[in-house]
Amino acid sequence: MGKDVRESDADVLSGAVGVGLIGFGTIGAGVAKVLRDNASVIEQRLGFPLRLARIADLDLETDRGVDVSGIVFDRDTEGLIADPAVEIVIELIGGYDVARRFMLAAIDAGKHVVTANKALLALHGAEIFAAADAKGVDVAFEASVGGGIPILRSLREGLAANRIESLHGIMNGTTNYVLTEMEKTAEDFDVVLKRAQELGYAEADPTFDVDGIDAAHKLALLVGMAFGAKLTYKEIPTEGIRGLTPVDFEAAEEFGYRFKLLGIAKSRSEGGEERIEARVQPTLIPSDSLLAKVDGAMNAIAVHGNAVGPTLFYGAGAGELPTASAVVADLMEIAREIRRGRAGRVAPLSYAPGELREKPLVPLGELEGRYFLNFTAADEPNVLAHITGALGEHGVSIESVLQKRSGEERGSVPVIVLTHPAREAHVRAALEAIDALEDVTAPTRLVRVEEEL
Amino acid sequence: MGKDVRESDADVLSGAVGVGLIGFGTIGAGVAKVLRDNASVIEQRLGFPLRLARIADLDLETDRGVDVSGIVFDRDTEGLIADPAVEIVIELIGGYDVARRFMLAAIDAGKHVVTANKALLALHGAEIFAAADAKGVDVAFEASVGGGIPILRSLREGLAANRIESLHGIMNGTTNYVLTEMEKTAEDFDVVLKRAQELGYAEADPTFDVDGIDAAHKLALLVGMAFGAKLTYKEIPTEGIRGLTPVDFEAAEEFGYRFKLLGIAKSRSEGGEERIEARVQPTLIPSDSLLAKVDGAMNAIAVHGNAVGPTLFYGAGAGELPTASAVVADLMEIAREIRRGRAGRVAPLSYAPGELREKPLVPLGELEGRYFLNFTAADEPNVLAHITGALGEHGVSIESVLQKRSGEERGSVPVIVLTHPAREAHVRAALEAIDALEDVTAPTRLVRVEEEL
């Protein structure tokens, strides 16, 4: 090892910036591949090379399909962090506790950190960014949102002149794959999920993805970057896609919409106070919108700025090489700033995480829009009259109704209603009354419609 | 004016970065509006304000709908460039000669320059960037390609870890509007163009737009950023949309494609030599591709990187505020670097324009793909046999044929052929033979098909 450190020292003198990788799984292997395969283009763009000096992982045996010769590869994470040949530490082990400890240790050692760990930042971001601020090092995390899509950079730099008005993002490839398949095949959620697991599009435990938690992690980071608002993912109302059934997709198509699991955030200023609307939910969006065309495991984030108007950023939201593309972009930015001799935070943030401010959230009851309501009702003559009557009593008027006579459960039928624009509090009050009706046999499913895309 | 300069000096001391604007037309007014309306968010993100200190324009009378109080507004361009209160000069007068002179004067005075002038950079970029290099100032030009879409920054930073393999861009809103309308209404080009002019989507002299020159300017800049290749727009094979007729759109739809005017660039490495394929042309792309869904005056650039895979960047490619969004983003980046005390070029380029290299172009004859061929043929029994026979003799096989019996010119009918993948040299040789046939009454129109989108 002593020999390798000496080689690394030579590199520092000759201009290479040394990098250490903690976590040699799928993304870690991708980073090693990109650094190796694209070494010449990286050096051309930077003016000097990046050198992967060390890798630390518990598993030293598995073949990752990438040549690690010349790289110190062991289990010694502390040694990696302390190694003077390592100027930037890449954290790619994921999870909360161990990753947090390694990241704080790297910061404490004065190392810049690049990570893809949205879960950790969405929960412990405040602590980590404060530590980085105190040490004058950077924590870059482009890979944590939208995989290879440079969405954080675009908010931070390209759209920096804008007051961001709204974000609508397909930010989880697993759920987008499942929704696309359900729409295409008219199969049940469980059937499609099982196939997605077999094909490697979904994890054995799909909770984080299908319940919207992963998207909420990412939305929390986007909200900070776009609105300067301090928000942890736990504050974001989050709903997954488990409840959707083939009849929902059939009705949506008839109404001219498609289902997407969206992370949505908007800034609302009224009377001088800015409030943030943030939620993760299955959403109906117009079939002819660009976001509706994003199929399979791809991601896209639509951003509306007050100067630029509507924009959209599309690409692979996960995967070995796309995620590595974002990690290495962060490495390049930090490395360039290191060579420029800048000591402080190197990646200027549109809003530095340390400067995020608490901003009140808009309660869901205040939302206004069309609502897609799927009632499970007894197959009785008057049920539609009861439902529409209760909606009317709460001031919710109906745009379209679809009543299916082919409910699978004997004696119960789905009744699907698309409302005219209404206030969510009124819709919810109506649903409370309707779900208490004798001929409504299961809780009503409410899906919000977003038109302005 | 003396008073204003003293105020500006005070600003410099208090941290504002002073900006001077040459050219107070549509985009210039947009820049003034964004700097005013978004001043608070700009200051929050930068940590200090941007101050529009001076505006120079020949027209001092027209009301641009923006408050210019507190800003020196006169015809004195030289005074603006020399004013110590102006650290960054924005050139927005457009055109070649005068703009070039002002830009070089600003660089010579040690001022950083921000411009939206793609025409100038595509022609005189080498001279201008060399002058900027020599003076250690930056020339930023995000607004010159894709309007408000941060595409140059994304190539330079977000996708910097990638070897860029291809670009396919809808980069001219006027032509995309005309194509979208022609498809929707089945009207002739001239009719739709006239309406576009009345609605303000096309200029009185539409040559730059409809003949593809504007797109070629932008493609030349993108090719530099993506591939490090030195290319002026005059070297790019460029074809506009004037030749397309309603029957082309009808046939394209039947074949499952849509027409888009694309700027296309690809990097091809064979035997250690990199060659660049670059062209602007009406192109058929699969109807279900995301790029095919980009309608009206919007722009989008699809970028394929070897790590990130397919990406797409969408937004308004022109217009007062979207273009201003990009100009002000450049101002903010330069201003931040000024305040950091960095003397040299501030906006690091993936490939510095001064370091672009000559790379050979791939001749069109070497292209391979499907071809859409519109033959104008005499309405004779054997004409289809003659055409298909000539194609076959040159090794070009046919995938689909559409023969219309309703040609407007009496006695001539359009015969539209979609070929199987073929080499363009063979297709062109076949067309030469076919156009010499007695029963082919007008030159054949050739449109390339791009599948991999």
Q: What ipTM was estimated for this complex?
A: 0.94
The predicted pLDDT at position A413 comes to 83
pLDDT at B409 over 90: no
Quick one: closest CA in A to B313, which residue?
A: A313
- Among A36, A41, A184, A349, most B C-beta atoms within 10 A, so best to mutate, is A41
CATH for the A2-150+321-357 domain, from 3.60.21.10, 3.40.50.1260, 2.30.40.10, 3.40.50.720? 3.40.50.720
The predicted pLDDT at position B1 comes to 35
pLDDT digits (tens, 9 = 90+) for B297-310: 999 999 999 999 99
| Whether the Cβ atoms of residue A91 and residue A117 lie closer than 8 Å to each other | yes
Whole-angstrom Cα distance, residue B72 to residue B90?
A: 15
For residue B157, which residues of chain A lie inside 8 Å, CB to CB?
Answer: 150, 153, 157, 329, 332-333
Reported as type and span, the H/E element at residue B41 is helix B39-46
Interchain contact, A150 vs B148, CB within 8 Å = no
Interchain contact, A329 vs B34, CB within 8 Å = no
- Among B40, B90, B154, B274, most A C-beta atoms within 10 A, so best to mutate, is B154
Interchain contact, A228 vs B44, CB within 8 Å = yes
* Residue A218 bears catalytic tag: yes
Instruction: Give the gap in angstroms from C-alpha A435 to the nearest C-alpha of chain B.
Output: 41
Average pLDDT over residues B108-126: 93
- Model confidence at B7, pLDDT cuts 50, 70, 90, reads very low
For residue B293, which residues of chain A lie inside 8 Å, CB to CB?
Answer: 288, 290, 293
A112's tokens: 């810049």
Q: What is the pLDDT along chain A (453 residues), one digit of tens a residue?
A: 334 444 444 454 458 999 999 999 999 999 999 999 999 999 988 889 999 999 999 999 999 999 999 999 999 999 999 999 999 999 999 999 999 999 999 999 999 999 999 999 988 888 998 899 899 899 999 999 999 999 999 999 999 999 999 999 999 999 999 999 999 999 999 999 999 999 999 999 999 999 999 999 999 999 999 999 988 899 999 999 999 999 999 999 999 999 999 999 999 998 889 999 999 999 999 999 999 999 999 999 999 999 999 999 999 999 999 999 999 999 999 998 888 765 444 444 445 666 788 999 999 999 999 999 999 988 888 888 999 999 999 999 999 999 876 545 557 888 999 999 999 999 999 999 999 999 899 999 999 999 988
Residue intervals in chain A for CATH 3.30.360.10: 151-316+358-363
Reduce the DSSP state of residue B113 to 3 states and report it: strand
The predicted pLDDT at position A342 comes to 59
Superfamily of domain A365-449: ACT domain (3.30.70.260)
Reduce the DSSP state of residue B4 to 3 states and report it: helix
Which of A307, A319, A329 is nearest residue B160 as measured by Cβ atoms? A329
Which of B154, B160, B162 is nearest residue A154 as measured by Cβ atoms? B154
Whole-angstrom Cα distance, residue B362 to residue B355?
A: 21
Interchain contact, A308 vs B316, CB within 8 Å = yes
The DSSP code for A16 is P
For residue B319, which residues of chain A lie inside 8 Å, CB to CB?
Answer: 309
Which tops the pLDDT comparison, B410 or B299?
B299
Residue intervals in chain B for CATH 3.30.360.10: 151-315+358-363
The predicted pLDDT at position A8 comes to 46
Q: Which residues of A227-238 are buried (b: 16+ CB within 10 A; e: fewer)?
A: bbbbbebeebeb
For residue B149, which residues of chain A lie inside 8 Å, CB to CB?
Answer: 158, 308, 311
Tell me whether residue B380 is exposed, middle or buried, using C-beta atoms within 10 angstroms of its C-beta: 0 to 12, 13 to 18, 19 or more: middle
- Model confidence at B413, pLDDT cuts 50, 70, 90, reads confident
The predicted pLDDT at position A341 comes to 67
| Whether the Cβ atoms of residue B385 and residue B440 lie closer than 8 Å to each other | no
Closest CA to A260 of A278, A238, A286: A286
Question: Mean pLDDT lowest for which of A131-135, B61-65, B298-302, B337-341?
Answer: B337-341
Residue intervals in chain B for CATH 3.40.50.720: 2-149+321-357
Size of the A and B interface in Cβ pairs below 8 Å: 194
Closest CA to A424 of A370, A357, A365, A373: A365
Instruction: Give the gap in angstroms from C-alpha B377 to the nearest C-alpha of chain A.
Output: 38
Residue intervals in chain A for CATH 3.30.70.260: 365-449
Interchain contact, B34 vs A161, CB within 8 Å = yes
- Among A312, A338, A342, A351, most B C-beta atoms within 10 A, so best to mutate, is A312
Whole-angstrom Cα distance, residue A143 to residue B309?
A: 14
For residue A224, which residues of chain B lie inside 8 Å, CB to CB?
Answer: none
For residue B306, which residues of chain A lie inside 8 Å, CB to CB?
Answer: 37-38, 321
Residue intervals in chain A for CATH 3.40.50.720: 2-150+321-357
Reduce the DSSP state of residue B27 to 3 states and report it: helix
Which tops the pLDDT comparison, B12 or A149?
A149
| Whether the Cβ atoms of residue A313 and residue A145 lie closer than 8 Å to each other | no
pLDDT at B410 over 80: no
Query: In the Cβ-directed half-sphere of A335, how many Cα atoms lie within 13 Å?
Result: 30
CATH for the B151-315+358-363 domain, from 3.50.50.60, 3.30.43.10, 3.30.360.10, 3.40.50.2300? 3.30.360.10
Superfamily of domain B2-149+321-357: NAD(P)-binding Rossmann-like Domain (3.40.50.720)
Which of B44, B45, B157 is nearest residue A153 as measured by Cβ atoms? B157
SS (H, E, C) B224-274: HHHHCEECCHHHCCECCCCCCCHHHHHHHHHHCEEEEEEEEEEEEEECCEE
The predicted pLDDT at position A5 comes to 40
Which tops the pLDDT comparison, A133 or B253?
B253
CATH number of A151-316+358-363: 3.30.360.10
- Among A114, A152, A311, most B C-beta atoms within 10 A, so best to mutate, is A311
Q: How far is CA B230 from CA B141, B223, B271, in A?
A: 16, 8, 21
The predicted pLDDT at position B453 comes to 82
- Model confidence at B412, pLDDT cuts 50, 70, 90, reads confident
The predicted pLDDT at position B8 comes to 46
Interchain contact, B315 vs A315, CB within 8 Å = no
For residue A41, which residues of chain B lie inside 8 Å, CB to CB?
Answer: 162-163
The predicted pLDDT at position B357 comes to 87
User: Where would I find the beta strands (DSSP E) of B1-116?
Assistant: 17-22, 50-56, 72-74, 88-91, 112-115
Reported as type and span, the H/E element at residue A18 is strand A17-22
pLDDT at B319 over 70: yes
Whole-angstrom Cα distance, residue A351 to residue A228?
A: 5
pLDDT at B354 over 80: no
Annotated catalytic residue within A218, A230, A266, A359? A218
Which of A228, A305, A316 is nearest residue B308 as measured by Cβ atoms? A316
